[in-house]
């Protein structure tokens, strides 16, 4: 069963064609990788799936609902796209509390558990301005999973992590897959893709091809 169905999606912004007739299905309960250089269109495809950007043509269906018609944004979705925008003078935990207040699906206990899971238990009271790049990335992943979503869309989730951090997040992603989650991730690192992904697509010049 397809969790995400992308059907003949094209996107033009001004004179630039960002996506060119992209069609692909991502099966539920698996990890799907998208590889490609910066500017290839992979981040924009993720934004279209999330409902942040409306494609010029084509349609995207997530769990049976067409994004932009049936729903503005896919339900039960956690995401990390580009640099997480946290409030620097608040603590990591306070940032998660503010985000969780929008949908009210995550208890304070759950937020604390996510901070511990991402190795930020000792830093949850520290201002985000004091976080390293790797710590901010871990916090970004914590906010993506804090509501226990069934679908995760993660754009370069291993960026900025040290060797131990990369290993920790690889283990976490495989554990989430084991819980039946569907994960769509992009990475520049071929090793990450090889170790984690059940299927791989390549994006180049706005064209997506299966590997």
Count of all residues that appear for the chain in the document: 211
| Same structural domain, 157 and 129 | no
| Same structural domain, 70 and 1 | yes
| Same structural domain, 185 and 96 | no
> Residue 123 has what pLDDT?
93
pTM, two decimal places: 0.93
Q: DSSP E strands: which ranges in the chain?
A: 2-13, 16-27, 31-35, 57-62, 65-66, 77-80, 151-155, 182-186, 199-204, 207-210
> Residue 103 has what pLDDT?
82
| Same structural domain, 64 and 163 | yes
| Same structural domain, 94 and 195 | no
| Same structural domain, 89 and 130 | yes
Range of the domain at 69: 1-76+151-211
Question: DSSP assignment, residue 123?
Answer: G
As a whole number of angstroms, the distance between CA 116 and CA 21 comes to: 42
211 residues of the chain, pLDDT tens digit each: 558 999 999 999 999 999 999 999 999 999 999 999 888 999 999 999 999 999 999 999 999 999 999 999 998 999 998 777 899 999 999 999 999 998 888 899 999 999 999 999 999 999 999 999 999 999 999 999 999 999 999 999 998 888 999 999 999 999 999 999 999 999 888 888 999 999 999 999 999 998 8
Give the number of domains in the chain: 2
> Residue 82 has what pLDDT?
78
Unique residue bearing structure tokens 């201002």: 127
CATH of the domain at 47: 3.40.50.300
Neighbours of 14 (CB within 10 A): 6
Of 149, 176, 202, the last residue of a domain is: 149
Q: DSSP E strands: which ranges in 39-198?
A: 57-62, 65-66, 77-80, 151-155, 182-186
């Amino acid at each position: 069963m397809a969790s995400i169905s992308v059907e003949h999606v094209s996107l033009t912004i001004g004179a630039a064609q960002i996506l060119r007739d992209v069609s692909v299905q991502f099966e539920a309960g698996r990890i799907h990788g998208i590889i490609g250089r910066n500017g290839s269109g992979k981040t924009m495809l993720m934004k279209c799936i999330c409902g942040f950007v409306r494609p010029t043509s084509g349609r995207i269906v997530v769990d049976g609902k067409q994004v932009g018609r049936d729903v503005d944004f896919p339900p039960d979705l956690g995401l990390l796209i580009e640099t997480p925008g946290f409030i620097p003078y608040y603590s990591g935990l306070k940032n998660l509390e503010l985000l969780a207040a929008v949908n009210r699906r995550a208890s304070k206990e759950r937020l604390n558990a996510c901070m511990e899971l991402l190795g930020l238990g000792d830093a949850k009271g520290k201002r985000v301005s004091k976080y390293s790049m790797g710590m901010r990335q871990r916090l970004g992943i914590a906010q993506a999973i804090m509501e226990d979503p069934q679908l995760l869309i993660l754009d370069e989730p291993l960026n900025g992590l040290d060797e131990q951090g990369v290993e920790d997040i690889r283990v976490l992603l495989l554990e989430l897959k084991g819980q039946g989650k569907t994960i769509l991730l992009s990475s520049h690192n071929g090793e990450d893709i090889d170790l984690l992904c059940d299927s791989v697509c390549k994006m180049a010049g706005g064209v997506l091809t299966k590997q």
